[in-house]
Chains A and B, each alone.
Chain A
Amino acid sequence: MPTAAKAPPIPGLSESPSAIRVLGVGLDGALMHAIRPWAAELQAQIEFVTDLPQAVRRLAAGRWDVVLTVLGEHPDEDLHWWANALRGRTGAPRLIAFAHRPSMGLALRAEQLGTHDLLALPVRREELMRSLRRVGRGTSEIAVPLESTANEDLGRYALVGQSPAMLDVYKLIARVAPSTATVLIQGESGTGKEVVARAIHANGPKASGPFVALNCAAIPENLLESELFGHEKGAFSGAVARKIGRFELAKDGTLFLDEIADMTLPLQAKILRAVQEREIERVGGGDPIPIDVRLIAASNRELRDAIQQGRFREDLYYRLAVVIVRLPRLSERGADLALLAAYFARQFASQYGKHITGFSDRTLELLTAHRWVGNVRELRNAIEQAVIVADGGTILVEHLPDEIRGHEGSLAGTLSGELATLAEAEARHIARVLAHTGGQIGAAATILGIHRNTLTRKIREYGL
């Protein structure tokens, strides 16, 4: 278990609280006149450019911490434009946008895009000063080494995790894999349904056969049938050649049907027939073709609800749900998040030829605080982006996607402009682990690798 230790300075990180660099884009004279002295009070270096093309050139020419801009007639589009323009820039400057009449919708959009702040015009001094202070340039970040991960590699993803929720999943996989029973995997998007399907296949009697996956929601409705069952040449206008469908391709192996709830009712009936009679017919073909496949289906929706709404066949459900594996959300997996982050950091570091040795403590805090609606897939994406833009061995806050950095200002301690002491870092880490365990001291002590009495003493000592 890593412990926060006083680390050597991290390359690319400012150790002393130096002046933040602010670029004002397209602000009118009065606004520039107002902002200049406020920036000076904060000892910020401010520069103004009149339009977007100039801004692009200035942003490319150096490191900037903040961009101030006024949103135009299409504020939503402007926010998108800026989010794209600032992504991947040196230092990943934060956007403070001014709007004439910011609506709730615009505020939500700004939040989604990771805009640092959205302020109403006319600009109020205190609001802007507070926003600029929150940018946090000069905030100390301490390197925390990557956790070691034991994992089972299964293609692009891996089964990584030691949380109780995942242990239950592993046990169920171990029980169901040796049979040929049909399995239904349910879980939110990004929880790893295909990884689990691959694990079942790899540990089952058809492991030597192919694993064929089909995402039912991705395929146009009018083509799904031919993808599943194949077609003969000329069966329909786009059938330029004979096509072998996924059922046939999965012969003696496993067919994984992901997002199965997206199938139309007539097609569900054809799947049911294939499962019951163990044979299919190609579109435009007359001869039945016997099939011998193990079927695993998955859905991110509750299929029972779909049955109630008349959108999913009950008889098919019972055919598929011989065994049900339910996958936990990332937020229910506690310390698995750090393990997964470390696993992905190593994976992408190898892919992109980088040498990543750790995350900063602030980065880990932000990762922990984020609401992972996309679960492990979202985490994987975030770490990939961070690894791509990281220029040293440690992934810093500035390397994270804006959507995650959006929470930066709301974390305690952001305003600190000095490098933290070992005690401060330790206190922060303990608080983070306690937040993970929902305040359970025993579980937190286990994660931290210290005795619960020691932890209790430290909690008292740091006033947590």
Chain B
Amino acid sequence: MTAPKSSREGMASLRVERALRLLPDLEALTPLRALLVATSRADAGAQWASSGPYLTLGKRAVEPAQLRRQVDGVLEQITEHLSALYHAYIDALEALSVGDTAPAVAALLRAGRSEEGPGRWSQARVWYEVALKLADELQDRRPEIEILGALGRLARTQGHFQQGARYFQRCLALAEAEFDQSGVAEACAGLGSLAAAQGQWGGARSWYKRGLTAAQAARDLKRTGHLYHRLASVDHHEGDDVAALEHLQEARRSVESIQDAEGLARVLAAQGDVESEQGHADSAALSYREGLAWARRGSAPAVECAILIRLAEFHMKGDRFHEAEEELRRAEQTAIAHSLSRRLVQVYTLMGRLRGRQKDETGFVFFEQAIELCRVTERAPSAEGRLYREYGNFRSILGSPDEARAYLEKARAIFESLGETGELEGVEADLEKIGG
């Protein structure tokens, strides 16, 4: 055996699951973890191995040399990121030292946004909270409205619905007092999304309509498009697909007029959902494909990934398992390449569901991978709840009622704590089916 061969084989056998175990769970190493994941690759041989269909992130190969080549780039990004935060803070101090609060608030808000962009929600929240305290001293209330909207959005993403509702309510009250129609639209959209998450569809519709009126008054086409889109989602949920398609047409007109590629991609994906529900498979497929093209044009990998996931669900509904798997693998690739860990959790959850539909017991590996991802990334309780629900149903299909019950109970606890009524009812129905 020659030395180079040994060294090559040694590298090929190093897997992400092992590499991650070597990496201490420290906040400072988060970018390194993301780089490790993004640079991992499927072994050339794994594609056709019998384990190939079960390949998950943990089983991908890590190449230390590749990491070393790219680590400088990441360090530069970290330096830039920290530099932006430090300078924002110094800018805020400078402004305060000359008694000018408004630029100080703006600087802190900027820092919050630069944390929120890459998904560092907890850190972003802290910056926004500091900014909010300072903004209280301002005559101009618009920065406060903006901060409250951002805090509401973050609270919703992190599953803190009641806290989110409080922020949006304050945001709404201030925006109305200031005649800030964009702020009103933002707050109403947030309150609508919270109502929808808790299964209050009538309430969601009212908030969205109110938000729409405000967005139109402000000639805010981006928000107008978004709110038409949200209204369509309520129509769709309530079974009125004709109204849903009409609202989506309106949404499309709004986002098209401002060349919002990402917005258009989202609208087309929603249109695909409705068409799929109506049984118009060809139109649905075309809408999803066109949505993917817009997402690509708008350089929006997160949206691209979300559409691929929906496309996979669309194929799964039609029992086209082969196509569903292909789309999920594409979504997985996109999620890994762009460090979209929440999407990756969704991908593996669906992959597990797909295997369950095929009565393939080894599909549990996808759920386990998704659980592991939830453990090492920023907490997203809704996604976690859905994951445990799917895992429970998977175990139920494969004849393990005890395990099924245990996972469904976990899901129930999560949805109960969030107040996600719709999901909670679903889990309870699942539990009833297995006699829980």
Contact = CB atoms under 8 A, between A and B. Distances in A.
B1 A215 contact: no
Contact of B365 (A219, A258, A300, A374): A219
B312 to A, nearest CB: 12
B397 to A, nearest CB: 16
Given A241-B402, A309-B9, 19 more contacts: A56-B293, A60-B286, A77-B337, A80-B333, A84-B330, A85-B289, A88-B323, A189-B52, A216-B51, A220-B56, A220-B368, A258-B50, A259-B51, A262-B51, A305-B1, A308-B1, A374-B48, A377-B50, A378-B48
A253 interface: no
A389 to B, nearest CB: 11
Most buried by A among B296, B330, B407: B296
B290 A57 contact: yes
Contact of B290 (A56, A190, A240, A242): A56
A189 B56 CA distance: 18
A311 interface: yes
Interface in A294-323: 300, 305, 308-309, 311
A223 B48 CA distance: 23
B215 to A, nearest CB: 25
A52 B400 contact: no
B162 interface: no
Interface of B, helix, strand, loop or mixed by DSSP: helix
Given A189-B49, A311-B13, A220 B365 contact: yes
A312 to B, nearest CB: 12
Interface in A204-244: 215-223, 238, 240-243
Nearest to B320: A388
Interface residues on A, range: 35 or more
Interface residues of B, number: 48
A218 B289 contact: no
Contact of B294 (A53, A88, A375): A53
Interface in B401-436: 402-403, 405-407, 410
B362 interface: yes
A51 interface: yes
A51 B297 contact: yes
Interface string A359-390: 00000000000000111011000001100100
B50 A194 contact: yes
14 contacts: A51-B297, A52-B293, A53-B264, A53-B290, A53-B297, A55-B293, A80-B333, A189-B48, A190-B49, A218-B54, A221-B18, A240-B402, A243-B403, A309-B10
Contacts of A399: none
Interface in B190-206: none
Nearest to A305: B1
Interface in B48-63: 48-52, 54-56, 58-59
Interface of A: 51-53, 55-57, 60, 77, 80-81, 84-85, 87-88, 189-190, 193-194, 215-223, 238, 240-243, 258-259, 262, 300, 305, 308-309, 311, 373-375, 377-378, 384-385, 388
Nearest to B372: A220
A87 B15 CA distance: 31
A56 B58 contact: no
Most buried by A among B1, B293, B372: B293
B293 A53 contact: yes
Contacts of A311: 13
B17 interface: yes
B322 interface: yes
Contacts of B296: 52, 81
Given A220-B58, A305-B1, A240 B365 contact: no
B121 to A, nearest CB: 25
Given A56-B289, A215-B362, A217-B59, A190 B406 contact: no
B6 interface: yes
Contacts of B286: 56-57, 60
Nearest to A311: B13
Nearest to A25: B293
A431 B6 CA distance: 42
B393 interface: no
A452 to B, nearest CB: 37
Nearest to B375: A237
Nearest to B1: A308
B369 interface: yes
Contacts of B6: 309
A295 B369 CA distance: 28
